[in-house]
């Protein structure tokens, strides 16, 4: 039985032999002395000094909403204490206990909804609800001067009942400690990294709120528009192959709603045309290189009106209960009626396969 010592009290803790799950850089265990907590033990022989200082700053600057411990509402794996081994090397940290079997990867909600008679696993309103909860969480983090930076589906789980997100890599985010020193984020996925940062090749420690606001909009766009990345596009010339997504992102040409003067068009299964004007304007601001991107709280306020009980802005589609529609008809039905060309169908499966291959949509948590 592995034993470690708590930093705060010098109390010894004894881990159960079998880990609950594997995270990308460590294992999560229950331990005998406290059934309301878990311990993450890193794979490394010792935590780097800089990372240890960051964990201490996180423990001392716990955001108020992170401590609302209810098994269904916890949204951050926030450190509450650190642990070291017999020879004094820092090996990991303590978090509040989570029932991980109550969660699913966010990537499950990025799959496009089709017109199959069988209802989709998650309907459009649920995707909207996830987008709202995600914006609300990010707004809370930003109010507490925390930047997530590495926003992408692989670090986000969703509670099966509430569809609230849980960030599984809280120790990677960027925080400000009481001494006003900022501890930076560790990485940033290129698929969610803003084009200006990609072109300038800024390292994660130079990224801040503007990067978060960009990535929030990408994830909301994917949830609302059938899993499509906002820079994903098809050449209008049917003899040309679609360019690589990275080059489209770097060129930063957001063609959704603006494709008339462009050589590109949105993929045929995009339902962006059916969004209301206010939603379209927010996306246009997020992906234009000249305008100020909407903040998390702006998204939160905007999305709230689609998920409230008495909302009239998003209505169930009369033909398919998995679909929902804004004011101008059901986009999913309309696009399906037009039928996808063979080229679009090929591109749809290719883009899905490449997102799986790149590993960005798969959760970084593996359950035992
Ligand atoms: Zn429909």
C-alpha pair distances (Å), 14 with each of 45, 75, 89, 94, 312: 18, 26, 17, 13, 54
pLDDT at 362: 60
- Taking residue 211's Cβ as centre, other Cβ atoms within 10 Å add up to 26
C-alpha pair distances (Å), 52 with each of 41, 84, 94, 251, 333: 13, 11, 13, 39, 52
Residues 332, 321: Cα–Cα separation, whole Å? 11
CA–centroid distance, residue 333 to ligand 1 (Å): 4
Handedness of CA 250, 154, 34, 161 (dihedral sign): positive
pTM of this prediction exceeds 0.85: yes
Q: Which of 232, 211, 212 is nearest to 222 (CA)?
A: 232
CA–centroid distance, residue 316 to ligand 1 (Å): 8
CA–centroid distance, residue 274 to ligand 1 (Å): 11
pLDDT at 27: 95
- In the 8-state DSSP scheme, what is residue 266? -
Domains of the chain: 3-98 (3.30.200.20), 103-367 (1.10.510.10)
- Reading the block at residue 152, the tokens are 């992408």
Residues 76, 179: Cα–Cα separation, whole Å? 23
pLDDT at 111: 84
3-state secondary structure of 219: helix
Q: Which residues of the chain, if any, have pLDDT below 70?
A: 66-72, 337-343, 345-363
Q: Are 288 and 231 in contact (CB under 8 A)?
A: no
pLDDT at 41: 97
Q: Which of 196, 215, 195 is nearest to 299 (CA)?
A: 215
pLDDT at 348: 67
CA–centroid distance, residue 113 to ligand 1 (Å): 10
pLDDT at 216: 98
Residues 164, 268: Cα–Cα separation, whole Å? 30
């Amino acid at each position: 039985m592995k034993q470690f010592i708590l930093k705060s009290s010098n109390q010894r803790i004894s881990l159960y032999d079998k880990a609950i799950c594997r995270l990308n850089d460590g294992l999560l265990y229950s331990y005998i002395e406290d059934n309301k907590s878990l311990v993450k033990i890193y794979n490394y022989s010792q935590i780097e000094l800089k990372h240890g200082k960051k964990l201490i700053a996180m423990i001392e600057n716990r955001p108020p909403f992170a401590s609302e411990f209810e098994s269904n509402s916890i949204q951050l794996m926030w450190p509450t204490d650190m642990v070291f081994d017999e020879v004094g090397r820092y090996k990991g940290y303590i978090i509040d206990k989570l029932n991980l079997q109550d969660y699913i990867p966010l990537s499950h909600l990025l799959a496009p909804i089709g017109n199959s008679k069988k209802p989709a696993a998650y309907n459009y309103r649920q995707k909207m609800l996830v987008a709202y909860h995600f914006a609300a969480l990010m707004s809370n983090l930003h109010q507490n001067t925390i930047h997530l930076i590495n926003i992408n589906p692989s670090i986000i789980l969703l509670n099966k009942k509430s569809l609230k997100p849980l960030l599984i890599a809280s120790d990677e985010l960027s925080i400000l400690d009481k001494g006003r020193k900022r501890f930076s984020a560790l990485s940033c996925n290129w698929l969610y990294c803003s084009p200006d940062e990609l072109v300038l090749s800024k390292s994660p420690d130079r990224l801040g709120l503007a990067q978060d606001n960009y990535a929030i909009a990408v994830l909301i766009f994917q949830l609302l528009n059938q899993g499509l990345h906002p820079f994903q596009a098809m050449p209008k010339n049917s003899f040309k192959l679609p360019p690589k997504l990275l080059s489209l992102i770097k060129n930063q040409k957001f063609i959704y709603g603006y494709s008339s003067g462009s050589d590109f068009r949105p993929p045929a299964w995009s339902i962006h045309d059916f969004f209301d004007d206010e939603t379209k304007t927010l996306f246009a601001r997020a992906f234009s290189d000249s305008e100020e991107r909407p903040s998390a709280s702006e998204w939160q306020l905007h999305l709230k009106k689609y998920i409230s009980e008495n909302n009239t802005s998003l209505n169930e589609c009369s033909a398919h209960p998995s679909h929902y529609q804004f004011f101008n008809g059901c986009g999913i039905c309309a696009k399906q009626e037009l039928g996808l060309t063979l080229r679009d169908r090929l591109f749809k499966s290719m883009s899905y396969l490449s997102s799986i291959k790149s590993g960005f949509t798969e959760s970084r948590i593996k359950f035992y």
